[in-house]
Amino acid sequence: MIKRISLYISIVFFCSYSADAQDIHFSQYYASPFNLNPAMTGLYNGSIRTFGNYRSQWGSVHQPYETYDAGIDFTVPFKSDNFGIGIMALGDMSGNASLSVYKFAIFGSYHKTFGPRKRKHIMAIGYYVKYVQKGIDLFNLTFPSQYNGDIDFDPNLDNGESYMDNQLGFPDVGLGAYWKMNPKYFPKYSFGFSMYHINLPKETFLDDKNRLAMRYHLHGDMLLKVKYNRTLTPRMIVMGQNNNYNIIIGAEYEHFIVNTMKQKTSVYGGAMMRLGDAIVIVGGAEHKNVRLGISYDINISELVPASSMFGAIEISLQYIGIFRKFTGVKCPKVPGF
């Protein structure tokens, strides 16, 4: 009987996840620029940027769910403006590897600068073209037809799910726009808006017409100078999909130990809240264009009885290199970008 109850709970959870859950996301969303806004491709001071993120969650409830991505992009100066090009790979695995998601994407953007020297603005537009592959391992799932006499589970019995495909793949397309106010002095502002899955790709293991709903991002941040070597960065993002919303609000405080044109060394820390879900504690350091971030989600949702408030841990890593004299759009130093 206990096995049957667990089975029904698993089926309800899986169906809910498939129908209404939002896309993959990171608490340090700003450390994964391609997942934030394709217009941010190539938007940094340098020639090349590489980044990677890793997230592990719900380890206290079951086997952890793991998400990771890695990307690289290049800045291509064009007169006083820039082009950006990049590629990214992303993977997501359920706790028992029953459901896997892999994404491979290319990104492109164009950045236009205008305005007086001491009060410049940067406008950027971008796009992505992505191929998504999803798989489900039915051998790691249990079905009612595999219970012998409603008592004993027999994995050798047919699961009765012959109508269900275990692999699917589809193209995915999205767009984004980004504006940054880049004055000579503080404060500095930026806002962005992006749309994902605008082609409404068919996404189902079953023979039906289920399509992946569009996802919207509205995000912004402000860079404030507290002292000559200290900054404060409030930021927020609103993500919407299928009438579900994910809102993160927070701030980071950064102390620069070395802050020269040739080298920056700093440490930072902060806190964010994913409304109705988790409190996120974040910290990290930067040295010689290498930035490392670590965050931990403290769960405050309805899953607290099962999770004991343990949520997720994330690690982000970014490197920016300069291989030639930079002549394009100059971007301000923004922690996390």
Residue-wise pLDDT tens digits, 255-293: 999 887 778 899 999 999 999 889 999 999 999 899 999
Tell whether 329 is covered by a domain. Answer: no
Does 253 map to a domain?
yes
* pLDDT score at 162: 55
Cα 312 to Cα 309: distance, rounded to the nearest angstrom:
10
As for how many domains the chain has, the answer is: 1
What's the confidence (pLDDT) of residue 334? 46
- Residue 268 domain-assigned? yes
Q: Is residue 327 part of a domain?
A: no
Which ranges in the chain belong to alpha helices (H)? Answer: 2-20, 33-36, 304-307
pLDDT value of position 14: 40
Distances (CA, A) of 99 to 41, 102, 163, 255, 285: 29, 10, 17, 42, 34
Centre a 10 Å sphere on the Cβ of residue 94 and count the other Cβ atoms it contains. 20
Question: What residue ranges of the chain have pLDDT lower than 70?
Answer: 1-23, 58-62, 95-97, 118, 138-165, 206-208, 301-310, 324-337
Cβ neighbours of 101 (radius 10 Å): 16
Position 64, amino acid: P
Is 315 part of a structural domain of the chain? yes
Closest C-alpha to 241, from 195, 173, 176:
195
Residue type, 167: Q
In the numeric block, the tokens 């994404």 are attached to 103
* Model confidence, pTM: 0.81
CATH number of the domain encompassing residue 60: 2.40.160.40
What pLDDT is recorded for position 95?
Answer: 64
Res 135: pLDDT: 86
Residue 337, domain member (yes or no)? no
Residue-wise pLDDT for 120-174, tens only, equals: 899 999 999 999 999 887 666 666 665 666 556 655 665 555 555 678 899 999 9
**Tally of helices (H runs) and strands (E runs) in the chain:** 3, 16
Report yes or no: 334 and 188 within 8 Å, Cβ to Cβ.
Answer: yes
In a domain, 270, yes or no: yes
Instruction: Indicate whether 226 belongs to any domain.
Output: yes
What's the token pair of residue 285?
């350091």
C-beta neighbour count of 297 within 10 angstroms: 23
Would you give the DSSP letter of residue 5?
Answer: H
Characterize the bridge pairing of strands 65-78 and 215-227.
unpaired
pLDDT reported for residue 184? 76
Q: Among 182, 258, 192, which Cα is nearest to 221's?
A: 192
Range of the domain at 114: 2-321
212's tokens: 């992946």
